[in-house]
Amino acid sequence: MKSLRSLFTHIRRHPAAMVGVILLALQIVAIVFAPLLSTHSPTEADPISSLQPPSFEHWLGTDVSGMDIYSRIIYATRINLLISISAVALAFVLGVPIGLLIGYYRGFVSSLIMRLFDFIQSFPVFVLGMALVSVMGQEIWNVAIVLAVLFTPMFARLIRAEVLSLRERPFISAARCSGATDASIMFRHILPNALTPAIVQVSISIGMAILLTAGLSFIGAGVRMPTPEWGLMVSSGAQQMILGVWWVSLFPGLAIVISVLCFALLGDAAKELSDPTTRTRR
């Protein structure tokens, strides 16, 4: 209860955090109430209404297939956040225990896993993402799994760095002297103290995952039409922008900006909240 009061107080005192919470609330509303908020079907094409500018009938206009852009943006919130949050959650679940183990037990296996992470992170993100998606198929869950593979080394490295710092602390030596097992030391004493950087990284990683999802769809390596997805919508209207048809790409592009900004602001707020020196100074 005390931690919740501290969180609410922190949000009230920081306008940026408040903006992030408001933007997140708007996205949650769009996810939950998409059928009520949309005015047209997000996947039903109407060639007669192709490339219509914003109007009372189509609030944000239509794309080249005649699909309503406003309705597709609303439904795309579900797709983009589902992929991004699922990918980061899976990466967190995999990366944290791996980082804990390779940080606590040092040896050949730990070094081998670190070299594997080096290999994965040495590839350009989009190149590796394109390769994995092309092998697994352009489905929503496949994109989420690919992003999870890309993010897992980051969480593992964060936890490993914290574990390497904590495992030699006096309170860990005291736990060993009291007869605590390795499992007890890792999960009761080290892990709770090592989680903060990874938890802060979650919000930032979701924003990165949204950008990667949109980027993969933009270059044709993400989800496929007619699935409503922001990057795919930007891609479908990119060629028409030079002809003055600006609305097809502009509005889904703004949706990407708002969503990424939301999680960036929340990540900064979480970082400040987790830093005791910052809380004291403020």
Three-class SS of residue 98? helix
Q: How many CB atoms lie within 10 A of CB 195?
A: 17
What type of residue sits at position 229?
Answer: E
Three-class SS of residue 64? coil
Residues of the chain with pLDDT > 70, as a percent, come to 92
* Paired residues of 68 in beta bridges: 62
Q: What is the pTM of this model?
A: 0.88
Residue 278, pLDDT above cutoff 60: no
Supply the DSSP string of 77-91, one letter for each residue: HHHHHHHHHHHHHHH
Q: Which two tokens stand for residue 30?
A: 């769009």
Residue 154, pLDDT above cutoff 60: yes
Residue 259's pLDDT is what?
94
Q: What angle do CA 141, 236, 234 make, to 5 degrees?
A: 75
Residue 84, pLDDT above cutoff 70: yes
Q: Which two tokens stand for residue 162?
A: 């914290």
Residue 2's pLDDT is what?
44
253, 268 in Cβ contact below 8 A? no
Q: 38-47, 84-93, 192-201, 268-277 — which is least confidently predicted?
A: 268-277
Residue 5, pLDDT above cutoff 70: no
Q: Which of 94-103, 210-219, 235-244 has the highest mean pLDDT?
A: 94-103
**H helices present in the chain, as ranges:** 2-13, 15-32, 34-37, 69-104, 108-122, 125-136, 140-166, 170-177, 182-184, 191-218, 230-238, 247-274, 276-281
Residue 133's pLDDT is what?
78
Residue 182's pLDDT is what?
81
Q: 150-154, 221-225, 276-280 — which is least confidently predicted?
A: 276-280
Q: What is the C-alpha separation between 235 and 231, in angstroms, rounded?
A: 6
Of residues 200, 273, 271, 263, the one with CA closest to residue 10: 273
65, 47 in Cβ contact below 8 A? yes
Tens digit of pLDDT for each residue in 102-141? Answer: 998 888 888 899 999 988 888 877 788 788 877 777 778 8
Tens digit of pLDDT for each residue in 170-195? Answer: 888 887 888 778 888 888 888 888 88
Tens digit of pLDDT for each residue in 8-48? Answer: 665 666 777 788 889 999 999 999 999 999 999 998 888 88
Residue 274, pLDDT above cutoff 70: no
8, 260 in Cβ contact below 8 A? no
Residue 245, pLDDT above cutoff 80: yes
Q: Which two tokens stand for residue 56?
A: 């009372």
Residue 281's pLDDT is what?
47
Tens digit of pLDDT for each residue in 191-234? Answer: 888 888 898 899 889 999 999 999 888 888 778 888 899 999 99
